[in-house]
Structure 1
């Protein structure tokens, strides 16, 4: 029932997700698709499922977007510094970033992907199978979706699933809304591409503040190769640690709630 209700809202987001992997959609077009997808999803859930669209509730959106963005930025700084410190990455001449243009593109793309993979896929899987199976399956789907990216590989897809798919779904579990995941996802991509100048999921970001690439002689298995840092075991490890930290908070909260009911 849920898939039938939300299918029309899923379509434009899915088209944008697939298309922007091959051509650079303008931020204006992405924003239009974003508004259409979120608006359509909200209306269909209200009318079809006859419930409040709690996963898109706006009352905590500013705080959760900010908290997620801060977390995503810190994680990517940790990843970038680790790659430089281990000699897996090197810096080049810096460029002239297009701050607003790139920020809007990162936010719109992250918002669409979070609606697809966390707001719809994870939520429905959790309803059908439970949260734990939904974590793994939605993360796997998220990783597989990146196989269409340039220079993608099985290792890259596993990396995306492990370091990002699990963490982003855990953010939804923690808050009950997608905003924290949107902020984390957008800031992660923004720091990785427009700021550090690394390849983001196989896509080169022009006009970055810095410019970086795998160091000469660095093994692609460790640096991530042409796909970028997201295929590096270093990134997977940091993402897994962050996921474990979020899950620890969720578990501890559950224990407190159980104690209150006892």
Structure 2
């Protein structure tokens, strides 16, 4: 399944590179990439696990409602983060970008959010949880999610660690609490779309110029602004995202979704 989803990532990147030349191309690339990734994931689950993909919900209306609610939540979460950075002088609006740029970013981020969440929460988290329990799954998926961003041009070790803590843990906790992949997908999409598509700042050290709704100017210590990696490497982002992480973990505990590491069978112990 991991190999299949890795192949999906390559396909999505190819679609985005070939089509994301404007708002229509960006939306088309994002929609096609996300749809193909979900289809591939569903086929892989049915083939290997012989079950329906309940973590993506069978009802379209319920899935759409969940996605949009949590996309707005992700947008709000980043707005609070950049707002705090601005209060301390680390962010200011330098001018206006374009609506077309914001739409293009949103389309691209649709594919990014879906593919990454299917890989890290839909596949990796569930596989590790079966072997090491929920806490092990949170740790492994979070660390590897942070490590993924080391390939970006402006990546730093601290930036990858920050991503692991603020995003890897939060998104893993969101899935653990709800067992619904649309929740972390929405949070991921809303955060990234707000970051680059609205506030015009660098996403995870990607090194790409943001052409969103606003043109941004950031200045100040890296602990506040995140430096070249972007706001996700700031202490502010870690502190802000720790709040929903704790809330999700409390919800998971109340719902009985924090699973322990499976114990060896009696036969295995006897051996």
Alpha-carbon distance in 2 for matches of 1:179, 1:222: 31
> Secondary structure at 2:93's aligned position in 1?
strand
Alpha-carbon distance in 2 for matches of 1:58, 1:195: 32
> Secondary structure at 1:90's aligned position in 2?
strand
Query: Which residue does the alignment assign to 2:135?
Result: 132
Give runs of aligned pairs for residues 46-65 of structure 1, distance below 5 A.
46-59=46-59, 60-65=62-67
TM-score normalised to the size of structure 1? 0.86
* Deviation of the 1:25 alpha carbon: 6.4
Q: How many residues align?
A: 247
* Deviation of the 1:44 alpha carbon: 2.2
Alpha-carbon distance in 1 for matches of 2:34, 2:92: 35
Find out whether 1:235 has 2:237 as its counterpart: yes
Residue deviations 1:63-89 (CA, integer Å, cap 9, x gap):
321221121011111101100001122
Alpha-carbon distance in 2 for matches of 1:20, 1:202: 22
> Secondary structure at 1:212's aligned position in 2?
strand
Query: Which residue does the alignment assign to 1:13?
Result: 8
Find out whether 1:35 has 2:38 as its counterpart: no
Alpha-carbon distance in 1 for matches of 2:111, 2:225: 28
Residue deviations 1:139-195 (CA, integer Å, cap 9, x gap):
000000000112110110011111111111111112212101111111101111110
Kindly indicate whether the alpha-carbon contact (under 8 Å) linking 1:13 and 1:113 is maintained by their aligned counterparts in 2: no
Unaligned 5+ residue runs, structure 1? 1-5, 256-262
Query: Which residue does the alignment assign to 2:44?
Result: 44
Query: Which residue does the alignment assign to 1:260?
Result: none
* Deviation of the 1:8 alpha carbon: 4.7
Alpha-carbon distance in 1 for matches of 2:112, 2:193: 11
Alpha-carbon distance in 2 for matches of 1:160, 1:20: 26
Give runs of aligned pairs for residues 240-251 of structure 1, distance below 5 A.
240-251=242-253
* Deviation of the 1:201 alpha carbon: 1.1
Kindly indicate whether the alpha-carbon contact (under 8 Å) linking 2:31 and 2:110 is maintained by their aligned counterparts in 1: no
Unaligned 5+ residue runs, structure 2? 21-25, 258-271
Task: Give RMSD over aligned pairs.
Answer: 2.3
Kindly indicate whether the alpha-carbon contact (under 8 Å) linking 1:9 and 1:37 is maintained by their aligned counterparts in 2: no
The range that moved more, 26-35 or 199-208, is 26-35
Are residues 25 and 237 of structure 1, via their aligned partners in 2, closer, same or farther at CA, if it must alter by over 3 Å? farther
> Secondary structure at 2:203's aligned position in 1?
coil
Are residues 25 and 225 of structure 1, via their aligned partners in 2, closer, same or farther at CA, if it must alter by over 3 Å? farther
